[in-house]
Amino acid sequence: MKILFLSNVFPNSQHPGKGTFNAAMMQSLGELHQTHVISPVAWVDECSSRVSQRTRLDPDWLPFEAANGMRVDYPRFYYPPKMLHQHYGQFLYWSIRSTLNRAIARFQPDVILSYWLHPDGEVAVRAAREHGIPAVVMTGGSDVLLLTRNRHRRRAIQSVLQQSDAVITVSQDIEAAVQKLQIHPEKIHTVYRGVDRSRFCPGDQRAARERLGLDPDRKVIVSVGRLEPVKGHTVLLEACKKISKQGPAFTCYVLGNGSLHSRLNQKVTEYGLDKYFQLQGSQPQSRLPDWYRAADVVALPSLSEGVPNVLLEAISCGSRFVASRVGGIPEIADPLQDRLVTPNNPQLLADALSGMLAVPAIPEQRVFEPLTWQESAVQLSQILSDCSTRYSAGLTEQQKSRSSYRRKNRKLRQPV
C-alpha cells in the first residue's frame, strides 16, 4: 500500500522539534508500506527565520528532503495571519496544489492520510475526491476540542469529518467529541500514539542528573511543552511560588519555547524564583529521556489535551506525573502513582506537586503501558488498508451500476 501523508505538524528546518510524533509514526508506517510526506511550511515562519538569518525569501522555494527511504516535500503555505481562519483550507489548497498534484501523479497513493482537521484535513479530502482516492483524517485534540468553539471553523471541521472516509483519534475522549459533531461511530477509530521504547525507558535517576548537570540532592519537577497559554505554564509558575514558601528545596525545569517565554522570565525575576523555576528552552529528543529519569515528578498543567506524548514518554521512563484532568489524560493515568487536578487552579496544582515531592516513588506495574510505534503503526495500517479496500469496492459497485445503466439504455434505444 502507498500512503501519502499531509500535515503542517511535522519537523522542518525552521522547527526541527515540531510534530516529531508524526515523523516517528511515518517512519514506522514506512517499515510496512511506501510513504510520501507533504508538510506545508507557513510563509510567516519562513520569513521570521529569514529575518533572523538576514537572507532573502526565495520565490521559487520548493525544498524537499529524503531520509530513511521517506521523501518529504515542504511547499510554502500563504495565508493572511490572524484573520479569515475559516478560509485557511482554501488558502492552503491554492498554495500547495501544484506540489500535491505532482506528488499524487508520481507516487500514485492508495490512500491520503492527514493530521490536523483544518486546514490540512480539508485539503486532503478535497484532493482525494479530485483524484479518486480515499481520505483518512487524524485529529490530535485541539483541532476538534478548541477550534470548533468558533462557529465558522466548527462548520468547516464538521464538513471535513463528514466527507472523510475514516477518522482516527488518539483518545476515547476525542472520539466522543467527534461523535458529538454528528459523525457516525463506525467511521471513528481510536489508536493511541506510540513511543520509542528503546529510547524512552527507565534509568538511574542520579546518573541522569549527573549527565544533565543537576543538583543530585534537590527535588526536581520537569515540565515539557510549548510555552503557549493552553499548556498552563503560568499556572505552574504560580504553583511553584506557593511551594517555594513552605515545601522542600526544589527546581522546576521547563523545557520548550513559545510566545510566553519573555513573560514567564519576567515573572520569575519578579517573584524571585530563579532557583525554583528555570526555562531551559527546547531540548533535543536524545536528551528528553534523561530529563524524565531525573524528575521526581513530571508536571503537565494543560488547559486542553488529547493524549500528550510528554506523558507517554514519561511513563515509559518510569516517571510519575501530576496533570490536569482534561482530554484523554485520565485514560492513561495510574490512580496509585499519578495525580490529576482541575485545570487552571494553582493551589490544587501546588498541593498535588508538594504531595508527590514528599513521597518517594514506588516502582509498580502500571494499569496503562504505552504502545511501541511499531504496534501503533500496525493498528493504523489495518485501518488504512480496510478503508482503501472499502473505497475500491465502492468504486467497483458504482462502475457495475453505470455499466448496467448503459446496457439498459442501449436496449431501450434498439429498434423494435
pLDDT score of 48: 64
- Average pLDDT, integer, range 318-332: 95
pLDDT score of 414: 46
Which structural domain range is residue 58 located in?
2-194+387-392
> Which residue has better confidence, 184 or 70?
184
State percent of the chain over pLDDT 90: 72
Per-residue pLDDT tens over the stretch 377-393: 999 999 999 999 999 88
Distance between start and end Cα atoms, the chain: 50
- Shared domain check, 214 and 187: no
φ, ψ of residue 130 to 5 degrees: the values are -65, -30
Alpha carbons 378 and 32: distance in angstroms, whole number: 8
What's the pTM value of the predicted model, to 2 decimals?
0.84
pLDDT score of 400: 44
Cell of 18: 515540531
- Shared domain check, 245 and 156: no
CATH of the domain at 350: 3.40.50.2000
- Shared domain check, 331 and 270: yes
Q: Is residue 370 part of a domain?
A: no
DSSP-based three-state secondary structure for 7: coil
Question: Under a CB-based contact definition with an 8 Å cutoff, are residues 100 and 6 in contact?
Answer: yes
- Shared domain check, 209 and 182: no
Per-residue pLDDT tens over the stretch 49-72: 555 555 454 544 445 565 566 789
Alpha carbons 397 and 331: distance in angstroms, whole number: 41
- Shared domain check, 215 and 161: no
- Shared domain check, 162 and 14: yes
Alpha carbons 301 and 159: distance in angstroms, whole number: 32
Q: Is residue 411 part of a domain?
A: no
- Shared domain check, 153 and 228: no
Alpha carbons 250 and 240: distance in angstroms, whole number: 9
Per-residue pLDDT tens over the stretch 406-415: 434 434 444 4
Which DSSP string corresponds to 291-309? HHHH-SEEEE--SS-SS-H
Alpha carbons 21 and 9: distance in angstroms, whole number: 9
- Average pLDDT, integer, range 334-360: 95
- Average pLDDT, integer, range 347-374: 91
- Give the amino acid at 103: A
Cell of 49: 527565520
Alpha carbons 283 and 256: distance in angstroms, whole number: 7
